[in-house]
Amino acid sequence: MRVAVIGVGGTGSATCRFLAKRGHSVVGYERFRVGHERGSSHGESRIIRYTYPDMLYTQMMGDAYPLWTELEAEAGEELLARCGGLYFGKNDEPSIHETERALIGAGLPYDKLTAHEVESRFPAFRLTNDETALYQPESGLLRATRCVLANARLAVEAGAVLREETVVTEIVTAGSEVVVRTDSGEESVFDRVIVTAGAWMGELFTRLHLPLTITRQQVTYLNIAQNPTHFEKGSLPVWIDATTLYYGFPNDGRITGAKIASHVLGESVDPNAPKRDVDSDYIEAVRDYARMRLPDLSGEVTYQTTCLYTVTPNEDFILDRVPESPNVWLVSGCSGHGFKFTVLLGKIVSQLALGETYGRDLSRFRIRGFD
Ligand SMILES: Cc1cc2nc3c(=O)[nH]c(=O)nc-3n(C[C@H](O)[C@H](O)[C@H](O)COP(=O)(O)OP(=O)(O)OC[C@H]3O[C@@H](n4cnc5c(N)ncnc54)[C@H](O)[C@@H]3O)c2cc1C
C-alpha cells in the first residue's frame, strides 16, 4: 500500500518505521529537518511511567513499554533509562489515590512512601510531612530526540522515503485515493494518509475545528551545588508533583545539572512564531521550588529551552479517521504527556489505517469525543 505520513516527529517517525517494516511504500513529509527543535519531541528526556490516575493510559503503557524495548534493540542504543519514578502530592490529593488504584488494578509493583522514607531512599529529595509518594520502579526517562532519530533511521533502512523541509499544504480525497500537495506545488497520490502533524494539525484541518490549544512550555536545568552522586540515575528517580504540577529528572548524563519544568499550561501561541528564551520570572519560580524540594541544587541555569504542547480540553489524545475522508487518519492532542505513547500511537494508527484492530476501546479518542 502507498502511505503518506505527514509530520515526522514523535508519532510520525514511529508510524513510518512500522509501516516500512511491514513492506508498505512509505513517504514521510517533514516541514523541518527530522529531530528539529520547533515542535514537541526534542530534548534529552521525557518521563515514561505506568503511574496514571486512569486505567486506560496505565494499560496502554503496558503495550508501549515492549515497543520501546524493541526500538532500543533495533537501534542498538540506549533510549530508555529505567531509574524509577516518584508520583507525589498532598495526602488528600485525589490523583494519588486514583493512581494507586490503577497500579493495583494493573497488578504493578509500587511502594507508598512517607516524607521520611523518601528522604532516606533519595537523599537529594524532600517531601513535606503532609505529602505522600508512590514509587514505581519501571518509571524512567526516554531520550526524546534520539528516539525520533532512531525511528526515522530504521524507517529509511526499511525502505521509507523521508521528504525533509517539505510542508504539506493540502490533503484531498479523490475516490479511494488521497492526493497530497506540498509547498513546492508537487502532488502525489496515496492509498492512505496518516497525519501526525502535532501543533500544526489545526492548520491542515481547519474545517474540523479540532479542540486543540497550542501552548509554549518552558524547561530549565539547574546546576548541582553539592552531593552530585545524589542526582545520578538510580539515586534520584524521575518525579512528578501531582499537586503543583512541577516535574523533574535526575542528571541525564548528557546535560550538566538536573532538569525541572512545569506541566501548568503556558501561554497560547502560534506554532509558526519564532522561539523565545525562557522567561526570567519562570526561572525564578523554578529556583524557589528547587530550594524547597532539591536543596542541593544551585540557582545557576545550565540549559534552557521551550517546547510546544498540543492540548485537548480533557488531555485525552485524538486518534481517528477523518470524517468524510475514509482513507485519512490523524493522531494529535498529545497534551503534554504523549511522548511515552508515541511509539504505540504510531503502531495503532498504522494498524487502523490498514484495516486492522487494536485490542482496546479507544472510542474516547474519537474526533467528536469532546463535549
Ligand atoms: C516541555 C515538554 C515536556 C514534555 N514532557 C513529557 C514527558 O515527560 N513525558 C511524555 O510522555 N510526554 C511529554 N511531553 C509531551 C510529548 O513530548 C508530546 O506529546 C509528543 O512529543 C508529541 O509528539 P507529536 O508526534 O504529536 O508531535 P511532534 O513531535 O511535534 O511532531 C509533529 C511533526 O509534524 C511536523 N509537521 C507539522 N505540520 C507539517 C506539515 N504541514 N508538513 C510536514 N510536516 C509537518 C512538525 O514539524 C513536527 O516534526 C512533553 C512536551 C513538552 C513540550
Which domains are assigned to the chain?
2-43+145-210+315-365 (3.50.50.60), 85-140+213-311 (3.30.9.10)
- 183 alpha carbon to ligand 1 midpoint, in Å? 21
3-state helix, strand, coil split of the chain in percent (to 5) is 30, 30, 40
- 48 alpha carbon to ligand 1 midpoint, in Å? 15
Mutate to test the pocket of ligand 1, among 334, 342, 348 (most ligand atoms within 8 A of CB): 334
| Spatial separation of the C-alpha atoms in residues 196 and 210, rounded to whole Å | 14
Instruction: Answer whether 86's CB lies under 8 Å from 243's CB.
Output: no
| DSSP code string of 256-280 | SSEEEEE-S---B--TTSPP-PPPH
Q: Is the CB of 342 under 6 A from ligand 1?
A: yes
- 198 alpha carbon to ligand 1 midpoint, in Å? 5
Q: Is the CB of 39 under 6 A from ligand 1?
A: yes
Nearest atom (ligand 1) to Cα of 199? 30
Average pLDDT rounded to a whole number, residues 54-81: 96
Nearest atom (ligand 1) to Cα of 34? 49
pLDDT of residue 58: 93
| Spatial separation of the C-alpha atoms in residues 150 and 128, rounded to whole Å | 41
Higher local confidence (pLDDT), 54 or 248: 248
| Spatial separation of the C-alpha atoms in residues 142 and 254, rounded to whole Å | 13
pLDDT of residue 371: 44
Nearest atom (ligand 1) to Cα of 46? 8
| Spatial separation of the C-alpha atoms in residues 91 and 240, rounded to whole Å | 15
Angle at 366 between CA 362 and CA 369, to 5 degrees: 110
Instruction: Answer whether 87's CB lies under 8 Å from 242's CB.
Output: yes
Q: Where are the alpha helices (DSSP H) in 32-143?
A: 55-75, 94-105, 115-121
Average pLDDT rounded to a whole number, residues 175-193: 97
3-state secondary structure of 224: strand
pLDDT of residue 253: 93
Q: In this prediction, what percent of the chain has a pLDDT beyond 70? A: 99
CA distances from 16 to 20, 194, 253, 337 (A): 6, 10, 29, 21
Average pLDDT rounded to a whole number, residues 150-161: 98
* Edge-to-edge strand ranges of the sheet holding 213-224: 111-113, 131-136, 85-90, 238-241, 246-248, 258-262, 213-224, 297-311
Enter the pTM of the model: 0.97
- 250 alpha carbon to ligand 1 midpoint, in Å? 22
| Residue pointed to by grid coordinates 542498538 | 76
| Spatial separation of the C-alpha atoms in residues 238 and 294, rounded to whole Å | 13
Beta-carbon contacts of 129 under 8 Å, excluding residues fewer than 6 positions away, are: 114, 115
| Spatial separation of the C-alpha atoms in residues 190 and 264, rounded to whole Å | 40
The residue whose C-alpha atom lies closest to atom 26 belonging to ligand 1 is 198
pLDDT of residue 252: 95
* Edge-to-edge strand ranges of the sheet holding 187-190: 168-174, 177-182, 187-190
Question: What would the pLDDT profile of 316-344 be if each residue is shown by its tens digit?
Answer: 999 999 999 999 999 999 999 999 999 99
Element (H, E) at 348: helix 339-353
Query: Residue 167 pLDDT > 90, yes or no?
Result: yes
Question: What would the pLDDT profile of 218-254 be if each residue is shown by its tens digit?
Answer: 999 999 999 999 999 989 999 999 999 999 999 999 9
**What integer best gives the mean pLDDT of the chain?**
96
Question: What would the pLDDT profile of 105-150 be if each residue is shown by its tens digit?
Answer: 999 999 999 999 999 999 999 999 999 999 999 999 999 999 999 9
Average pLDDT rounded to a whole number, residues 199-213: 95
Q: Residue 17 corresponds to which cell in the numbers above? A: 518505521
Question: What would the pLDDT profile of 345-358 be if each residue is shown by its tens digit?
Answer: 999 999 999 999 99
Q: Is the CB of 338 under 6 A from ligand 1?
A: yes
Instruction: Answer whether 167's CB lies under 8 Å from 155's CB.
Output: no
Q: Is the CB of 257 under 6 A from ligand 1?
A: no
Q: Is the CB of 317 under 6 A from ligand 1?
A: no
Query: Residue 370 pLDDT > 90, yes or no?
Result: no
Q: Using pLDDT thresholds of 50, 70 and 90, give the confidence band for residue 30.
A: very high
Q: Is the CB of 147 under 6 A from ligand 1?
A: no
| Spatial separation of the C-alpha atoms in residues 230 and 250, rounded to whole Å | 9
For residue 182, list its beta bridge partners. 168
* Edge-to-edge strand ranges of the sheet holding 80-82: 46-48, 140-142, 80-82
Question: What would the pLDDT profile of 273-290 be if each residue is shown by its tens digit?
Answer: 999 999 999 999 999 999
3-state secondary structure of 296: coil
| Spatial separation of the C-alpha atoms in residues 113 and 88, rounded to whole Å | 9
| Residue pointed to by grid coordinates 497525519 | 195
